[in-house]
Chain A
Amino acid sequence: MGKSSDSMKSFWRGGELFVWLTASGVAISLLMVGAMLALIMVNGLGQFWPATLHQIVLKTQEIVIGQVVGHEVIPNSVTPDRPNGLDRFRYRVGNRDVFGSEYRWVNGEDILSTMSPKDLTFVERREWGPAFGRLSIVGVDGMTESSDSQTWPAIGSLVEESTNLRQRIEHVERDEIGAINYRLEKARLERQALTLDGQLSPREAEVDRRLVDQIATLEQEYQAKTVALEQLHKEAGQKTLLLTLSNGRPLRLTLDQVITVSRPNDMSWIDKLVAYLHNLWLFVSSEPREANTEGGIFPAIFGTVLMVFLMTIAVMPFGVVAAVYLREYAKQGVLVQLVRIAVNNLAGVPSIVFGVFGLAFFVYALGGTIDQLLFPESLPNPTFGTGGILWASLTLALLTVPVVIVATEEGLSAVPRDFREGSVGLGATKFETIWHVILPCALPGILTGLILAMARAAGEVAPLMLTGVVKLAPALPLDSYLPFLHLDRKFMHLGFHIYDVGFQSPNVEAAKPMVYMTTLILILVVVLLNWTAVMLRNRLRKRFAMSAV
């Protein structure tokens, strides 16, 4: 009795309870993070696995081909004689253009038989989502036909041909016609700039004539390219695949529609793994299709990283300079304290407010002025007077500047007084001391601020929606045309992509795994950016680590 009360006392006095309390706090946080990551990964990563195609026969003798993607007990189906209730399965049946919907529920009790024959084929298409069925005929314009035993081995080279063709079409569309369009637009703007003041001087008239000639030549080139493009499309349209769907109807697919053809039921485990990795790679490296519900998210990854990068360039000097003034130069007093409080509160302002401010100040006021001064020839079409990656980055810089200021100030105040005195004692001025000694020592602190700012900026969506993010950007903000970095262009962003795909999509079910996957990629991007900064910081810390005296 006495002993147990003693141990009880030491439990309280020793603060063991507190240890448990704090440890469980950490454990709960970790658990939540882990659970969230697991949920995202399970739901997101699963979609690229080539799942088994089932062929089921219903009581109505209807045949359904599809992949099981969900299962549930029918609500209110539990009765005394059916304690487990009735099941129903959700099948992804594909062929959205034929069936109207890509998914359908099938009651378990309606199913007569389930099989997974090896010849069921999964065709990933450029439009209308995937198609499931039996590959029956491959031919040129339906003229030559062949049986399955000959068809299937030939399919690989056909798909490859299709991919090559697609790449050629894209090359003509984007690079060749894109370049012509770019030069056409330039020439057109130059002409417009000439006539901006209302009249042409003889020299200007000469230039104008040359431009007109140039435009005519370019338009001819354009026509030629269009013809070539049509030729390519025709070529692609000549070869077709014929798919027999579950309802027995044939589906004719021209080759340029086809991305991949596979038979998941006939694939070994290793084949599936290869296909899985290939799908994953396509996802991160290609462009979105079908209102973003299919295809990849490369432009969004690129836009996010570039925007964070631009924001960093904007926020770092600004925040550091402000913090140096507050900590090193300003006379510490009520006013500086008030400024500090104001800066801290700035971090708590809802981000949409920053978005509205960015729209009003950067886009309309600054951008509008820039357009009038520098790009009058393209008005009324705005150049900088509309949302763009520059304005979005600057708005986010504004949003994250308090974080950088606070962290930098802390970094500065952590620099030992000894260093300052040592430097000043050698005849250094205050500026020299700050520049050569204090800032280098405060660099780890500054980088901490940068890490926090980047994490915040990469995940922010609301202000971007007002200042330059779009659902689908026609071109990346970085390309091979002068001046290479197009700060005025609109861009895609992973955070907005999640919102758009998840909540603005016409095909919600198909988009669900995309939402998870995009989330996972966004988290990965943030982690990667932070990890880089953390590594940099650790290297600096090691350099500045004080040895024990």
Chain B
Amino acid sequence: MEVHSLSLSSTPPTVPSRPIVPSLPQSRVTRDQSQAAPSVDAKIQVRNLDFYYGERQALFHVVLTVRTHSVTSFIGPSGCGKSTLLRCLNRMNDLVEGARAVGRVELDGTDIYGLDIDVTDLRKRVGMVFQKSNPFPKSIYDNVAYGPRLHGTKDKRTLDELVEHSLQGAGLWDEVKDRLTQSALGLSGGQQQRLCIARALAVQPEVILMDEPCSALDPIATGKIEELIFKLKDTYTVVIVTHNMQQAARVSNQCGFFLMGELVEFGDTKTIFTTPRDKRTEDYITGRFG
């Protein structure tokens, strides 16, 4: 078990290692059989992750495996820690002052909280799409080309191809190909969100994290994005956090239900939604609370 500091400074971790005292009995954490041993197609493995915002513990002993080329969804009521876990997967929580993770998160078998990890490189491999679409106040082209330019692509033709390819990947090309030089802020909400997806694709990541990507969108835009997620799975590994249980049921292969920082149940989406093992999952899915 390793302990890592997540303070913004680059100084080595100063948090004293402490014995992990499980605050909850292990038996209460439901485990999928596939997680017991690392499976061949595991992309991300979260092993006993605890997460703290200052003194407050936000995640308790989370254990799960995200499979390659699949869609994994996290559901649960507000404040249950599902977004926190998602943001742990590309160390986005590093930006939060006082945040601290204890445990291991492995990407292709390497601990991403390890000392020799280049965080920017990690975020290149694990891209992210946010709840609120956040295109930069630049042109559509510059938004998509932002990542590749940062990572050293300067050649105009390569960039052009990459932008076109990414926009096509996000299903936005036909709508914006004639106005690439116009401000991205002139797009509609759904288009902006797809632009953000294109922007993430342009970096050519392996995993795409989506934090409630449709919560601010109307049903038609939501439908388009869901379709897109379904397609993305062939090339990328997708992890999505959603409030919307129907959405989770529609798009994901596997699903995790979180409650108060605890992963209550994790397994095949079909199983979770038809025959949940835990009473709390059943209550949530059937709408008795949450």
Q: What are the residues of chain B within 8 A of A416 when measuring CB–CB? A: 134
Pairwise interchain contact B146-A427, C-beta atoms closer than 8 A: no
Pairwise interchain contact B95-A420, C-beta atoms closer than 8 A: yes
Binds A, one of B32-40, B45-53, B63-71, B118-126: B118-126
Q: What are the residues of chain A within 8 A of B280 when measuring CB–CB? A: none
Pairwise interchain contact B128-A436, C-beta atoms closer than 8 A: no
Bound: A494/B133 CA distance, A: 51
| Residue on A nearest B134 in the bound complex, by CB | A418
Bound: A497/B135 CA distance, A: 51
Binds B, one of A224-232, A266-274, A538-546: A538-546
Pairwise interchain contact A436-B137, C-beta atoms closer than 8 A: no
Bound: A429/B122 CA distance, A: 12
Question: What per-residue 1/0 map shows which CB atoms of A507-538 lie under 8 Å from chain B?
Answer: 00000000000000000000000000000000
Interface residue from B97, B123, B137 paired with A425 (Cβ < 8 Å): B123
Pairwise interchain contact B192-A427, C-beta atoms closer than 8 A: no
Q: What are the residues of chain A within 8 A of B121 when measuring CB–CB? A: 427
The number of chain B residues touching the other chain, given as a range, is 35 or more
Q: Is A547 an interface residue (CB 8 A)?
A: yes
The number of chain A residues touching the other chain, given as a range, is 20 to 34
Q: Is A424 an interface residue (CB 8 A)?
A: yes
Interface residue from A421, A426, A544 paired with B127 (Cβ < 8 Å): A426
Pairwise interchain contact B185-A432, C-beta atoms closer than 8 A: no
Question: What per-residue 1/0 map shows which CB atoms of A397-429 lie under 8 Å from chain B?
Answer: 000000000000000000010111111111111
Interface residue from A425, A428, A544, A549 paired with B92 (Cβ < 8 Å): A425
| Residue on A nearest B125 in the bound complex, by CB | A427
Pairwise interchain contact A422-B147, C-beta atoms closer than 8 A: no
Pairwise interchain contact B95-A418, C-beta atoms closer than 8 A: no
Question: What per-residue 1/0 map shows which CB atoms of B9-29 lie under 8 Å from chain A?
Answer: 100000000000000000000
Q: What are the residues of chain A within 8 A of B151 when measuring CB–CB? A: 427
Bound: A441/B137 CA distance, A: 8
Binds A, one of B195-203, B222-230, B232-240, B241-249: B195-203
Q: What are the residues of chain A within 8 A of B150 when measuring CB–CB? A: 426-428, 432, 436
Bound: A420/B136 CA distance, A: 9
A33 vs chain B, min Cβ distance (A): 35
Q: What are the residues of chain A within 8 A of B183 when measuring CB–CB? A: 543
Pairwise interchain contact A427-B120, C-beta atoms closer than 8 A: yes
Q: Is B130 an interface residue (CB 8 A)?
A: yes
Bound: A547/B190 CA distance, A: 13
Pairwise interchain contact A437-B136, C-beta atoms closer than 8 A: yes
Q: Is B114 an interface residue (CB 8 A)?
A: no
Bound: A544/B138 CA distance, A: 8
Q: Is A440 an interface residue (CB 8 A)?
A: yes
Q: Is B189 an interface residue (CB 8 A)?
A: yes
Interface residue from A420, A427, A543 paired with B123 (Cβ < 8 Å): A427
B45 vs chain A, min Cβ distance (A): 21
Q: What are the residues of chain B within 8 A of A423 when measuring CB–CB? A: 136, 146
Interface residue from B9, B95, B132, B203 paired with A424 (Cβ < 8 Å): B95
Bound: A86/B146 CA distance, A: 82
Within 8 A of B (CB), among A193-224: none
Pairwise interchain contact A419-B136, C-beta atoms closer than 8 A: yes
Bound: A418/B136 CA distance, A: 9
B196 vs chain A, min Cβ distance (A): 7
Pairwise interchain contact A426-B132, C-beta atoms closer than 8 A: no
Bound: A348/B92 CA distance, A: 41
B123 vs chain A, min Cβ distance (A): 4
Q: Is B109 an interface residue (CB 8 A)?
A: no
Q: Is B254 an interface residue (CB 8 A)?
A: no
| Residue on A nearest B189 in the bound complex, by CB | A549
A325 vs chain B, min Cβ distance (A): 14
A444 vs chain B, min Cβ distance (A): 11
Bound: A421/B133 CA distance, A: 11
Bound: A423/B189 CA distance, A: 19
Pairwise interchain contact B186-A426, C-beta atoms closer than 8 A: no
Within 8 A of B (CB), among A417-462: 418-429, 432, 436-437, 440-441
Pairwise interchain contact A426-B189, C-beta atoms closer than 8 A: no
Most buried by B among A418, A421, A426, A549: A426
A223 vs chain B, min Cβ distance (A): 64
Q: What are the residues of chain A within 8 A of B9 when measuring CB–CB? A: 331
| Residue on B nearest A437 in the bound complex, by CB | B136
| Residue on A nearest B185 in the bound complex, by CB | A547
A419 vs chain B, min Cβ distance (A): 6
Bound: A543/B138 CA distance, A: 8
Pairwise interchain contact A418-B146, C-beta atoms closer than 8 A: no
Q: Which chain B residues have a beta carbon within 8 Å of chain A's beta carbons?
A: 8-9, 90, 92, 95, 97, 120-124, 127-128, 130, 132-137, 146-147, 150-151, 183, 185-187, 189, 192, 196, 199-200, 203, 216
Q: List 10 A-B contacts (CB under 8 A).
A: A420-B95, A421-B130, A422-B135, A423-B146, A424-B92, A427-B121, A436-B146, A545-B137, A546-B137, A549-B192
What 5 pairs across the A-B complex have the smallest Cβ distances?
A: A418-B134, A427-B124, A425-B128, A426-B147, A544-B137
Beyond A427-B123, A547-B187: 9 further Cβ-contacts under 8 Å? A331-B8, A332-B97, A418-B134, A421-B128, A422-B130, A424-B95, A426-B200, A427-B120, A549-B133
